[in-house]
Structure 1
């Protein structure tokens, strides 16, 4: 594990009331990889401040005081979905009240309308529509590239890729190659949920399994498509399931180096079949960020997604291992349908203020973490 040096600052010695954390702290301070059992101990300790201290130390080794954000827009082209995931409040069956599918012109207009700041990224995810042909999605991407040639297109989860491959009677690699040729620049990390079969059978048994998700990610990385990786927590999983998820992501990253960012996603139970499950607490949210930073020693970035945990918690997470708070977003639907009470979008100035007030240095990035320089409503990206 290698780290970029941060700015010089006085260091205090590690302190904890939990002796089980002492050997873990020694490993972290020496830059050594943590084991599965170490991960379980991090989840079970009552000393969350000690875990946060260690995660912050790693975060500052990597990024100093820098905190990343971008100006992006979410496009959810359809909510029609053949899956019946118990965790989801977004997807609807064909013919249900409230279904929608954007015409291509509507999607292109949505991408450019109602927002004055020049976006650097379109983030595209949606339902598994039983009737939309593969070329609908490729035409969507091609049309966006023609209209917004400077904007990075981050599109289609591993779950969507597998579904589109099956519908188009193609292999996963063939599907990915055609996506890339159409203009997809990278991929989001959604649909990973929790890899453990026991959990997936309860929350999302209509999706590809964890192994298939990971194999699809590897195939994308092999052709040069970077991706993110997520973990949905706070439902029916246990500590061992979470650590298993992180260790399996870490193993793929060892092999491909294609993951850019890990994003823990807090489960929002409202309007889902799991509405009886209580919402996550702030302590749980911060622990996921911190454990992710400590276990995923080969991931460059850990994101605290403000849409999921609120802007206030995202600020605190910048001291618990996170170095990124995502972007302006604009019109996110999936988590808001599940009861998220955060704003549908923030402006660039809001994100800069949130980061600065947390004592970090704002750094506007593009999807590949290159510096973005602004000039009125246009931008340039450092190459």
Structure 2
């Protein structure tokens, strides 16, 4: 079936970039498990020469993700970190990046422990008020890096506002859209230059594959990213591509249930006497709630909260007491997860910086899955005690 952006999201999730296999009529895109392709003459082939550069299963996936992000181009990588690595390689020694101060610990680790050694400078800024960004821009600034909602405090950043700054200063704007997924938010439509995903999360949706993706409307940037992917080799295999392609077919129905369950769990936690601060962008009193409402189509299934007393021991006890929520890293799968950012996903961020941004010892993060909401609430109730 041929699809275009005139079709609805669900139709594109199921059909974009895909057509029945011409040799058999198979409705599912085949897993092209091959490393190389036969050429008619030296250098003359059907668009595929070596699988590090292109693979038909991966191409179908890239086209589908691009369609969901309303993008001209999509590119897949062997992990979300592989995708971020390729984006930073667009820069040169001496270039500077302004990133949100509340971001995934793996991103912080890569920026400060890998790329800082090559002369790229990173500034971590609270972007709740986008005007703060202007204070850190100089003639070496090349890129703005945004997560929204952020990981793990669910801070909402005004993508349109940051895009206006980026365009005025001729900077690249990268938006990590992992927490929202393209079902809830499309940063390119709001002015972003590049969207990045950990496709491991909501895009795959079943906790059985690791992958990353980028999307852009810029032909030159796409050409550079594809060159980096092929040259450096952080590309996914055909089986992983097939799994994410399969996961995308239910993205819209899964994320809708994540949103419904997230709302139910957030409302339960908000009234619980042991909860101190609750972070979920769907509440009217959540900072920048109005911006979330304007740039998102729902508030998602990611929630974080601190316990009264900020006790590390109590946070550990609760995280180890759930029965439906599994204590594990990652997010966005059909099953519900609970995690302790300070010792798990954000352990690489220095304690002083973690606490300054709000990642306290008692902070717990939930990835609310698609189980029955009543069971999730009952599990949290017994774990809280």
Same fold, TM-score > 0.5, yes or no: no
TM-score normalized with structure 1 length = 0.29
Bigger RCO (CA 8 Å, 6+ sep): 1
Structure of larger gyration radius? 2
TM-score normalized with structure 2 length = 0.29
